Amino acid sequence: MSTRDIISLIAVVREKANRFIVQEMSTKEMEGLAPSHGDILSALFEYSSLTMKDLAKKINKDKSTVTALVNKLLNLGYIERTRDIADSRIVYITLTEKGENLKGDFKEISDKLIERVYKDISKSEQEVLINILTKIYNNF
């Protein structure tokens, strides 16, 4: 592979990771979910309630993308929207009980994914990889 193949390689790795996630989710019967929902669920596992604005910021996606993903999760019953009592313009996103119940399976899939990603890669190589990818990210 040439150093010019970097973007193609990143895209292929992402595609393979997504396939792995989909396969693992199907064994857990996580119906209707897609890998793209992972960032939102992960953020809500960490912060029990977030505004749409904060959620978009936390997962580094624009509001229109987050809105589409949130709507899908809402329709599947994994999250709910609530309005702020003091300011009805503010909408909070929180996990439902069904969403909370995903936490264990979600962690298991995430752990398996990370294990697969870093197989045969030393801790120092992992750190170098993250540093380089962060620099590439910041270049944009």
17-26 confidence digits (pLDDT tens): 999 999 999 9
CB 38 within 8 A of CB 114: no
pLDDT digits (tens, 9 = 90+) for 71-115: 999 999 999 999 988 988 888 999 999 999 999 999 999 999 999
| pTM assigned to the model | 0.84
pLDDT in tens, 42-78: 999 999 899 999 999 999 999 899 999 999 999 999 9
What CATH number has the domain bearing residue 33? 1.10.10.10
Structurally, how many domains does the chain consist of? Answer: 1
Q: Whole domain around residue 100: which residue ranges?
A: 3-139
Q: State yes or no: pLDDT of 9 exceeds 80.
A: yes
For residue 90, which phi and psi values (nearest 5 degrees)? -90, 125
